[in-house]
Amino acid sequence: MGSATDLTSLADLAAERLAQIFGARPLLVQLWQDNQTVSAARGGEMSADMHVMPVHTGSRVAGEVVLDRKSEPGPDIESVLTELSAALTALDAQQAIVRDRDQTMMALARLATRGLDPGGHRPTRGAKIAREIGEQLVAAGLAPADAGWAQDLERAMTLRELGRCLLPADLWMKPGKLSEGEFELVRSLPDRAAALFDELMPANDTAVRWHDLTRSILAGQGERWDGGGYPAGRKGESIPIEARIAAVVGAYDAMTRPRPYGVPRPHAAALSQLTEESGAHFDPAVVRALAARGTEVDRIRAAHTLAPEGDHELGDHRAA
């Protein structure tokens, strides 16, 4: 059962193994992890008279195997329970790694926006908006439909602004256009931010997709749909979908958050501006996805916006 990568597949594997032992007799495998409960049944309805055997991982009860009374437990079932316990312990360890990773990500995200976001809302705001867009694109068949992609996108987006810590804060706070030299610094940022991320959060077997999404966002969110962006001048669908989402989220976030040198635009006005630049700066499908989730996006924006924030937005710079 070590091949199982999540609680659902583990329950199915265990139920299948038990069905091979007990044939068509009713059985149920039920597993618990954090706030999740999954079940896998075989052989029809259970009777009122059952064997209930707990599954332990360390000090906690992590599930139970329920067998019809006619299915007498024996060495085979004990072997399955032992394997199930070991697989659950491995999944628990993976979950602990994910929790530690998420805490590290949020700390890095808040470090990157220190001084710009006193309430620490900014990484969460952009990430949640990106997930709304991602789920809409998945539903439309325009983004990967595999389980958990939008959730991994949300996690990756918390580090969208990691590169800010590589440039002086006064550059981000500058109220006017950037000089040519300043703009060149900004153009170099995506590659530098991706390299910094590789040093801080090296890829591992438990977070490959999340790592790839984060790196892709850092490296590609300055690109434009029409090919006029940076650092590589990529165009259209050659820009990864996660980077296209990040570009739209970044622009929307910049337009709708309070700034010391400007009044935030309401949701409708920001959406109108994005629509106007759709097909040039932004992927039209991503802009339409944001519009389709407009009510929820506006709610997220309002819930995670407090103090005025002043700064430029990556991908929105123009030299003087």
Query: Is 100 part of any domain?
Result: no
Do 131 and 201 sit in the same domain of this protein? yes
The pLDDT, as a whole number, for residue 4 is: 65
Do 33 and 117 sit in the same domain of this protein? no
Preceding peptide of 168 cis, ω within 30°: no
Do 71 and 140 sit in the same domain of this protein? no
The pLDDT, as a whole number, for residue 317 is: 43
Do 297 and 193 sit in the same domain of this protein? yes
> What confidence tier does 122 reach under pLDDT thresholds 50, 70, 90?
confident
Query: Is 97 part of any domain?
Result: no
The pLDDT, as a whole number, for residue 242 is: 98
Query: Is 45 part of any domain?
Result: yes
Round to whole Å and give the CA distance between 151 and 161: 18
Query: Is 308 part of any domain?
Result: no
Do 57 and 118 sit in the same domain of this protein? no
Indicate if the pLDDT at residue 36 is higher than 50.
yes
For 38, 161, 229, the CA distances from 218, given in Å and listed in that order, are 36, 8, 14
Do 128 and 59 sit in the same domain of this protein? no
The pLDDT, as a whole number, for residue 111 is: 75
Do 130 and 84 sit in the same domain of this protein? no
Do 298 and 194 sit in the same domain of this protein? yes
Domain containing residue 186: CATH number: 1.10.3210.10
Query: Is 314 part of any domain?
Result: no
User: Does residue 273 contact residue 255 with C-beta atoms inside 8 Å?
Assistant: yes
Domain that holds residue 75: 7-92
Round to whole Å and give the CA distance between 157 and 213: 8
Indicate if the pLDDT at residue 311 is higher than 60.
no
The pLDDT, as a whole number, for residue 306 is: 57
Round to whole Å and give the CA distance between 21 and 81: 13
Query: Is 130 part of any domain?
Result: yes
Do 127 and 241 sit in the same domain of this protein? yes
Round to whole Å and give the CA distance between 208 and 259: 36
Round to whole Å and give the CA distance between 119 and 267: 21
User: Does residue 33 contact residue 18 with C-beta atoms inside 8 Å?
Assistant: no
Do 152 and 238 sit in the same domain of this protein? yes
Query: Is 318 part of any domain?
Result: no
Domain containing residue 27: CATH number: 3.30.450.40
Mean pLDDT of the chain: 86
**Total number of domains in the chain:** 2
Do 71 and 179 sit in the same domain of this protein? no
Which residue is listed with tokens 């990500």?
A: 105
Query: Is 98 part of any domain?
Result: no
> What confidence tier does 51 reach under pLDDT thresholds 50, 70, 90?
confident
The percentage of the chain sitting over the pLDDT mark of 70, rounded to a whole number, equals 88
Do 200 and 298 sit in the same domain of this protein? yes
